[in-house]
Structure 1
């Protein structure tokens, strides 16, 4: 696979890994960097962009769910389990890179109607830091 194909594969795996679908993109990042060390920064940018957009797709899924009041009326009781996200707001999305819980945080942020721009910025920062640590470890 050439450099462009490698970056496309990295973007695709990064995007899908950040959605509710199972998968990981770290191995693809490592493979790209081992094959093309000169793509260090482009690979970090592509992986971060793909993973951030994937996280924002989970955020959008949360936005499409009924808001808390409508859902509470529908099921007749108060919704528990979102207090952590509600208490910390957008900064909690810095942890969106964590396996399993990261997807839940992104969906919860959308459901709680946290503003999209700070959400995207914190998601991107956390995901970039994770990829940077991985890339630095193999560089």
Structure 2
């Protein structure tokens, strides 16, 4: 554990940024564990939440862009989002509209929602606000619970 904390002291925020970014793009990663470890390791909780939120948001913007360009090969092969997931996300997006963007942090369907928003050419400024708010509250909740247990 000590070696991990020494490594985090040197590369913690950079590692958090990269992990959080990739977690919302092409790799099935989770950044929650690193957020918790950093909060428990007495990193600045506000900085941890901000870095994770911005990085995860930027990853979602990448997925939106891929969807908006209609790059089906990238969507199916590299992002590993199935046609079924895309259909579920599109139904969710059509049923709940813009509010579904607040839940892009959900595993299994969140990445697909961002791709669908791009495929449907949803207005980017609205996309950006709702996705960032959702990601921010998610990481704030994780950090809050980690710091109080």
| Alignment partner of 1:45 is 2:53 | no
Which residue is 1:6 aligned to?
A: 12
Which residue is 2:82 aligned to?
A: none
Structure 2 distance, partners of 1:3, 1:115, is: 39
The structure with the larger Rg is 1
Structure 2 distance, partners of 1:11, 1:49, is: 8
| Alignment partner of 1:65 is 2:87 | no
| Alignment partner of 1:92 is 2:93 | no
Which residue is 1:129 aligned to?
A: 137
* Residue 34 of structure 1, CA deviation: 1.5
Structure 1 distance, partners of 2:123, 2:51, is: 24
Secondary structure in structure 2 of the residue aligned to 1:89: helix
Secondary structure in structure 1 of the residue aligned to 2:122: coil
Structure 2 stretches lacking a partner, 5+ long: 1-6, 72-86
**TM-score if structure 2 supplies the norm length?**
0.77
Structure 1 stretches lacking a partner, 5+ long: 67-79
**TM-score if structure 1 supplies the norm length?**
0.82
Structure 1 distance, partners of 2:66, 2:94, is: 17
Structure 2 distance, partners of 1:20, 1:89, is: 24
Alignment check: 8 A CA contact 1:3 1:36 kept: no
**Equivalent of 1:103, from 92, 107, 111?**
111
Superposition pairs for residues 20-35 of structure 1, below 5 Å? 20-35=26-41
Q: CA RMSD in A?
A: 1.9
Structure 2 distance, partners of 1:128, 1:5, is: 22
